[in-house]
A and B are shown apart, each in its own frame.
Chain A
Amino acid sequence: MANKADTIISTLITRSRKPLLDEWLARQATMAGSGAIAADGDVKEYCTRFLAELDTGLAAGEVGDIRGAGWSGMRELLEEVSRSRAGKGFTPSETASFVFSLKAPLFALVQREAGDNAARLADELQSATTLLDTLGLYTVEVFQKAREEVIARQQEEMLELSTPVVRLWEGIVAVPLIGTLDSNRTQVVMENLLQEIVSAGAQIAIIDITGVPTVDTLVAQHLLKTVSAARLMGADCIISGIRPQIAQTIVHLGVDLSVTSKASMSGALELALKRIGKAVVERKARPAAEVS
């Protein structure tokens, strides 16, 4: 039964590919959000290839299961369309409508072919709908995956960007933390900091949390881990940049930071210099007699 129906769709596509293509393109141009789709210059090429691949796939005789070898070309095409549209910022429905918009022109053709034979028409439409739905869903799936890849890549980039370790003075390093601290970031911060402590031979590490929006028990625990690790290496830690609200939150949560902390980075630097036996002093003005 299914095979009989397929033969007819595939003959249709082989025979009237040109009118079908024109109808389909016209249809996509008039659809909602057509501005964006019209801007997609490759639409005509994609449609032509889609019909060709549809032909190939149907000829291979596998309907309903697009994972077969006969559909490999089609899958590649849909992946290409999805990725290019995901990259251009299309919505998922705009992307899926690429496939779904073929339904109307195809069904019209099928109807004309089937004539008065209602049972046959129903069969035809049934199998055509199933096939196009599967292809459409596959497109959305790939689209989603492409978007997820973009998000994952951005997260990785953020991780690398946001953890610089700076040398403030001989023997003093500082990490300005920006953004929320989760386990992954703590790991990266800790590794970078410890590495820098070794290479700089630093005795003091200042962790500045001015850029950390909130400190809850988990963040505090991560901070303490970093401090402990630095201490094991032989470097003392000072936490700086604690904003008034954060100080209140820390006490309300009952977190015991038990680490030297300073309100500002300058205070921390002053303390650090003192600990390594250095001081910043004002230069003495020379007496007037000496100047002349």
Chain B
Amino acid sequence: MDQIPILMVGDCLLVSIQVDMHDQLALALQDSLMTKIVETGARGVMLDISSLQFVDSFIGRLLNNIASMARVLDAATVVVGMQPAVAITLVELGLTLSGIRTALNVDKGLALIRRIIDGEEQAFDRREG
């Protein structure tokens, strides 16, 4: 089975999703990501979904879950590089992912995580959608 690599960059975990996310793979990712956070004591998780072309409600919910679980483990989650079509789909599905911080690209995402860890930014939006 495919596996999505999880890279350690400083005290952040970087996950770049470059294949189609089927449900099994997504659940495996969630599992190994949590294990990795605990093992490494990472303070931030960055999910790069710029190559992801399709999402469904399951993946949308899973992203939300990963963010919530990581927060319990005291790690901030930032989703970066979402495609316009994916954003529109998620909004139409009613998933505004209000618990997740987002950034335009990996560069800005790393800067955002840095600010969150330094306590300059909220780890999640105060807005509830």
Q: Does A190 contact B (CB under 8 A)?
A: yes
Interface of A is mostly: helix
A198 to B103 Cα, complex, angstroms? 11
With contact pairs A190-B88, A191-B84, A229-B91 given, residues A201 and B105 touching in the complex (Cβ less than 8 Å): yes
Range, interface on chain A: 20 to 34
A-B contact count (CB 8 A): 63
Range, interface on chain B: 20 to 34
Residues 172-205 of chain A, each 1 if its beta carbon lies under 8 Å from chain B, else 0: 0000000000000001001100110110011100
Asked if B104 and A232 sit within 8 Å, CB to CB, the answer is no
Query: B97's closest neighbor in chain A, by CB?
Result: A232
Asked if A232 and B96 sit within 8 Å, CB to CB, the answer is yes
Q: Does B108 contact A (CB under 8 A)?
A: yes
Q: Does B7 contact A (CB under 8 A)?
A: no
Q: Does B34 contact A (CB under 8 A)?
A: no
Tell me which residues across on chain B come within 8 A of A230, comparing CB atoms.
87
B25-48 with Cβ < 8 A to chain A? none
Asked if A233 and B82 sit within 8 Å, CB to CB, the answer is yes
Q: What distance in Å separates the Cβ of A274 from its nearest Cβ neighbour in chain B?
A: 14
- List 7 A-B pairs, Cβ < 8 Å: A191-B84, A195-B84, A198-B104, A202-B104, A230-B87, A231-B102, A258-B127
Residues of A in contact with B (beta carbons under 8 Å apart): 187, 190-191, 194-195, 197-198, 201-203, 224-225, 228-235, 258-259
Residues of B in contact with A (beta carbons under 8 Å apart): 79-84, 86-88, 90-92, 96-97, 102-105, 108-109, 125, 127-129
